[in-house]
Structure 1
Amino acid sequence: MKRRDFAKLITAGGGLTLVPSCVATGKAGKMKPGSKDPRELSADVAIIGGGLGGCAAALAACRNGLRVILTEETDWIGGQIAQQGVPPDEHGSIETHGAPQSYRDYRDKVRNYYKQNYPMTEEARNRKYLNPGDGSVSRICHEPRVSVAVLREMLNPYISAGKLELLIRHKASGADVQGDEVRAIEVTDQDTGSAVVVHAPYFVDATELGDLLPMTNTEYVSGTESKKETGELHAPEVADPRNHQAFTFCFAMDYQPGKDNVIDKPKDYDYWNSYVPDMDPPWAGKLLELNYSNPRNLKPKDLGFHPEGKKTGNKLNLWLYRRMINRHNFLPGTYDGDITIVNWPQNDYFKGNLIDVSEKEFNETIEGARQLNLSLFYWLQTEAPRPDGGKGWPGLRLRGDVMGTADGMAKYPYVREARRIKAEFTVLEEHVGAEQRKMVAGPEKGKTAPDFYDSVGTGYYHIDLHPSNRGDNYIDFGSLPFQIPLGSLLPIRVNNLLPANKNIGTTHITNGCYRLHPVEWSIGEAVGCLTAYAMKHNIPPRAVRSDKRRLADFQDWIRSQGLETHWPKK
């Protein structure tokens, strides 16, 4: 299939443009613009990637007086919470602490958006901590398009004031680098093919895969490090830069009882219907079954499924897991039924990799994930076991309108792992893994993560690594509430490029707890503040960390803006 045809197939007027972040687009050094007469733009900081980290960085930089250019390769900002369709994965204290105030403001705005614009029941409207979908995975499961609306609302005052220029459907396509400095980044309009060359003193890589790192010759790592390299308890004996966690193409669906919405049998259905993942330790059985490997002990674990939300015994009902609309929160007749997001073990795609591969392999991997999704959906419609002994739920319906696409798939795959900068400081399992922390620090000190002197944020999530494309099964174990060290945001050499997504100085292991929604936001906001502080004081970002008095001043300054650098003492 030709690339342009495939792009039309999955984007439907806006979404993923199938140009891998590793091949011909990654031009470093003297830039050769993609068009003969590229448009030239300049700002104080250019943020490439409009996910949560990119949006948070833009908000912080604009708030502190900088002129910002923010680019996004799809037509939706919001990254994993919007274009990828993933309801927020958060810790239990998120309503009060463990993230910047601006992130909690975002969450409050989402709730208010529903209360002000949707026909809700009085009970739901009066609920302080409204969860629109009442999904079990999050305290605030909501629609991707609401994320986009709220984030645009937060950015619009700066756009109106001329402080922020937002370029959607623009993908990084080249870089101009001189020594240790990035001088310009080229982005290409995905609809017209025209180029824009962006000049700025500072650049932020907020892309989902760390696209700017190879383009700018910024040192990075990918895949798994070896135990010898990191000393991590759960690291493998041999490093493998091509060993990455599965990614997932999420999709949305609802259920219409009595209707026949069965799609045509997908072309790869027979393959996926008999597919048994080749994992070590072994997978529970076939992929398209209502079971999986329990992440904590890797033993087979049964799952339930009932699209009317009914109980499935002691089994998790996958319908409720990431449900984003609970029809009972809205006035009768508003919705035909609930709407849920499918981001399950059954559509994790671990038969390919998106990083540092050819364009052909990238496209084939994306299409493979799409075919898995269609096969899973068809299996649910026709063969999934029902509590009454029957098979299949033909009333299931793909909701591409919810995802902003024609085929029901998200605009972009949910990427759990990106390229990671070689940083001044790398977060290791001994810092955040509960078991190894106790081994290193002792029983008492090991009860908490280390107090990083250069902390610029906080976060918490268990270390959660999904099965990999090289056959690793789940790696899932306890962690400790942690801090985000400034050193993990500073490349070892390049002076004016900063990461603001999953591309910070973590390892394959610790990425498993630093990749979640509020942590990405925290990283982005810290980076946006850092660029503003560096420009105000006319110093490079790494000088903030190297001077203890300057660092203390910076930390006081960001705390005054609602960023958290420490967890509350118990």
Structure 2
Amino acid sequence: MKRRHKVAGFQTSLITFSLISNFFIPDYTVVAAPPRNPDKTVDCEILVVGGGLSGVATAYEALLAGRKVCLTEITDWLGGQISSQGTSALDERPTQRMRQFYSRGYLELRDRIRRKYGELNPGDCWVSDSCFLPRDAHKILTEMLKDAEKRGRGKLEWFPNTVIKELEISPLSKEDSKAGGQLIKSAIAIQHQPAKGAPPINTFPLSNTIEDAYRYQNSSRFTKNIIRLAPKQNKGNAPKWYVVDASETGEIIALADVPYRLGIDARSYLEPSASSTTNDPYCPQGFTYTFAMEATKEPQPQKMPPFYLQYAPYFSYELKRLASFDLLFTYRRIWSPKKGKPEKFGGIGFTTPTPGDISMQNWTWGNDYRPGTAKDNLVYTRQQLQATGQLKPGGWMGGLRTATLDKAEENALSFYYWLVAGTTDSQLGEGVKQQQINNRFLSGINSPMGTVHGLSKYPYMREGRRVIGRPSWGQPGGFGIWEIDISRRDYNDEYYRKTLPADMYRRLKAALAGLEAVSVIDGKVSPDQAMRRTRSTIFPDAVGIGHYAIDFHPCMVQSPPEAPGNTERPGERRGAGQAYPFQIALRAMIPQKIDNLIVGGKSIATSHIAAAAYRVHSFEWSAGAAAGTVAAFSLKNDVAPYQLVDDLPKAEPQLQALKRLLEQNGNPTAFPDTSIFNQNWDDWK
């Protein structure tokens, strides 16, 4: 840990590095004067932006550590994936689930689900061991945070229906390096509630309300409270706090304008399965508006949406072995009061739907919306943010393309109609899809999604902006976790020999060779003779864990995505496949430029391919648990997170103290028997 000088209460170090092209770092952010003074100022020790699983886990650990936490969320539900985004089917791997090797908070969540329903899987789904109602997830997590607040004697300030509009960031002094030295001094938030006489929250879909939510002015739909969030001012001491970006799209890293990536990374020895030789920020994974539908005893009237014919050419069961309505319905069935008869289709066992069963839909060739061009990408690039004025003081509007949200909502509503009344299939042809009119679309404030329109409050985001970590040994352009750090793929495949340049192929095999790496680089050992390690990369600064397959929902080639005959981006699924149990490196959570910003959830420093595994429920919780623990530890020990890793690979005593704390608190940083000598990971399924 290097200590050179202090900025606003934090030690900073001089680090030199070369910037990756296309990632410009400005001097500082200026806060525009809001149309009126803030209605109130709230002091926080830790500001968590985003109430998804990562944000809840951050707050959970920080509250148990006795800290004051401010938690903001654009919707009115806690839980993200399992609540406001509707994907209440826990993505887990068999071995990790069998061993119950998860963060303590995630284990508590699973236990509370079991206690709520008397079983872990009240939906009797087959995709997971646990499928349940999204509205219940919010209630469960609310109680978890209340209990954590009491047990740890922390304090929670919860701000639903709230967005961050601006950040006040300290200027960068001349002696500071561009890798760090700045601090977020305060944040301006806007909280909205229904205007007098206006319909309740969740009446309209997100595309109708998101721009209004980011405007200071009251509207016919919303009245606004302007809230200043800042650290408590102590006499004689510089204010100290941490901001955690736990948002679904990397919103704060964009607003703070720290370096990040979007979409496809260029093919390299670290990312050898990349579908492009150059970066492509317009092709992240698809996103999904989920919805719930109920099986009924009697046929139901099914009204064709006026826009249905535009989207119908896209929909498909995708594969013959999946071409069964009952199979798809039970895939993510989230409620089943009466169990049906056992059945099999395509080798998959399930129980048949019965009246009253509720299914949540999240299907690749269905309600996934998969734009892949600059015309329709959802998450704006830095250049697009500049062009739309969102990086100017007071200009931030959430960083998303509203028109694409609108089309994704139309696509989801059209998919429901296809499921019950459609007879076409874009991938399998005529005669496969049959009508299923004994079903109804569930909508209303008391419905599983909690919305009048019936769609999830927020889309399920598989991938957004991914921060670039600070320069680190072996990665002078900025730390990241890459494909080869986690993938089980056999890189002896002829594809890699033929596709990768000889030097790139040699570097790939050397990076995977472990103790033989130097001999491969020197040419003493042939790349084809080198033994590859059979585990993921072991990070000395590991602060959390995850395990899931590299699972792709690729973008589409043409615009719009639903265009007849459209295809997935060629080569995108090559990176898909099984992964070894992996770790979350602290360096992946520390952005460049700003010392008191911590990145959690899906926006940590991963590549496009690695992100396809680092996005599921238990990972999000582990990353949030790490973020909350790191923030509390840093406040207690007067040390900035980057100082815990800036001497690596040399010993970092305070880093080891942090890791011990995580482990003692029941938040694993490594899987059992993780060691450079353990090559037996085949049992981890």
TM-score by length of 2: 0.69
- What does residue 136 of structure 2 align with? 146
Q: Identify if the C-alpha distance between structure 1 residues 437 and 518 changes in structure 2 by more than 3 Å, giving closer, same or farther.
A: farther
Q: How does 1:128-147 map to 2 (within 5 A)?
A: 130-147=120-137
Cα pair 1:98 1:458 within 8 Å, conserved: no
Deviations 1:306-339 (A, max 9, x none): 4xx5xxxxxxx11111111122269xxxx94211
Q: Which residue, out of 377, 380, 386, partners 1:353? A: 377
- What residue in structure 2 maps to residue 314 of structure 1? none
- Cα 1:444–1:305, aligned 2, differ >3 Å: closer, same or farther? same
Query: Which of 191, 196, 200 does residue 227 from structure 2 map onto?
Result: 196
Q: Do 1:28 and 1:214's aligned partners in 2 also have CA atoms closer than 8 Å? A: no
Q: 1:389 to 1:458 in 2, by over 3 A?
A: closer
Structure 1 residues 429, 526: CA separation in 2 closer, same or farther (over 3 Å shift)? same
Aligned to 1:289: 316
**Do the aligned partners of 1:251 and 1:408 also contact (CA within 8 Å) in 2?**
yes
1:158 Cα deviation from its structure 2 partner: 5.2
Residue of 552, 572, 592 corresponding to 1:492: 592
Structure 2 residue aligned with 1:550, among 633, 638, 654? 654
Asked if 1:326 corresponds to 2:336, the answer is yes
349, 373, 381: which one pairs with 2:420?
381
Retained in 2: the 8 A contact 1:429–1:437?
no
Cα pair 1:207 1:501 within 8 Å, conserved? yes
The gaps in structure 2 that reach 5 residues or longer are 1-26, 173-181, 194-222, 232-240, 341-353, 389-396, 426-430, 471-478, 493-508, 514-529, 558-567, 674-679, 681-685
SS at match of 1:53: helix
- SS of the equivalent of 2:141 reads helix
Q: How does 1:157-556 map to 2 (within 5 A)?
A: 157=147, 163-178=155-170, 179=172, 180-191=182-193, 192-200=223-231, 201-228=241-268, 230-263=270-303, 265-273=304-312, 275=313, 287-290=314-317, 292=318, 300-306=319-325, 309=326, 317-328=327-338, 336-345=355-364, 346-351=366-371, 352-356=376-380, 362-384=401-423, 391-400=434-443, 401-424=447-470, 425-435=479-489, 439=509, 440-442=511-513, 446-470=533-557, 471-472=568-569, 475=573, 476-546=576-646, 548-556=652-660
Q: Measure the CA separation in 1 of the matches of 2:400 and 2:169.
A: 28
Q: What residue number does 2:16 align with?
A: none
SS in 1 for 2:360: strand
> Rg larger in 1 or in 2?
2
- CA shift, 1:96, in A, is 2.7
Over aligned residues, Cα RMSD in angstroms? 2.6
Secondary structure, aligned partner of 1:563: coil
Superposed displacement of residue 302, structure 1: 4.3
When residues 35 and 167 of structure 1 are mapped into structure 2, their CA distance, relative to the original with a 3 A threshold, is farther
Deviating more after overlay: 367-376 vs 349-358: 349-358
User: Is 1:454–1:487's contact at 8 Å kept on the other side of the alignment?
Assistant: yes
SS of structure 1 residue aligned to 2:401: helix
Render the CA deviation track for 1:506-552: whole Å, top value 9, x for unaligned.
Answer: 01111011011100110010010001111111011111223521111
User: In the TM superposition, what is the alpha-carbon distance from 1:32 to its structure 2 partner?
Assistant: 2.4
Matching residue of 1:101: 104
Quote the offset at 1:251 in angstroms: 0.6
Please list the CA deviations of residues 55-80 of structure 1 after superposition, one character each: whole Å capped at 9, or x if unmatched.
00001111111111001110111011
Change (3 A) 1:158 1:565: closer
Question: Structure 1, unaligned stretches of length 5 or more?
Answer: 1-26, 116-124, 276-286, 293-299, 310-316
CA distance in 2, matches of 1:432, 1:158: 33
Partner Cα separation in structure 2 for residue 229 and residue 175 of structure 1: 37
SS at the partner of 1:477?
Answer: coil
Aligned residue pairs total 497
Deviations 1:421-444, CA, capped at 9 Å, x for gaps: 111321011111112688442476
Checking the alignment, whether the CA contact within 8 Å between 1:262 and 1:378 is kept in structure 2 is yes
Paired residue for 2:93? Answer: 91
Following superposition, the deviation at residue 231 of structure 1 comes to 4.4
CA distance, structure 1, for counterparts of residue 127 and residue 113 of structure 2: 17
Give the drift of 1:257. 2.4
**How much does 1:230 deviate?**
4.5
Q: Give secondary structure in 2 for the equivalent of 1:193.
A: strand
Cα deviation for residue 481 of structure 1 reads 0.9
Percent of aligned pairs with the same residue? 29
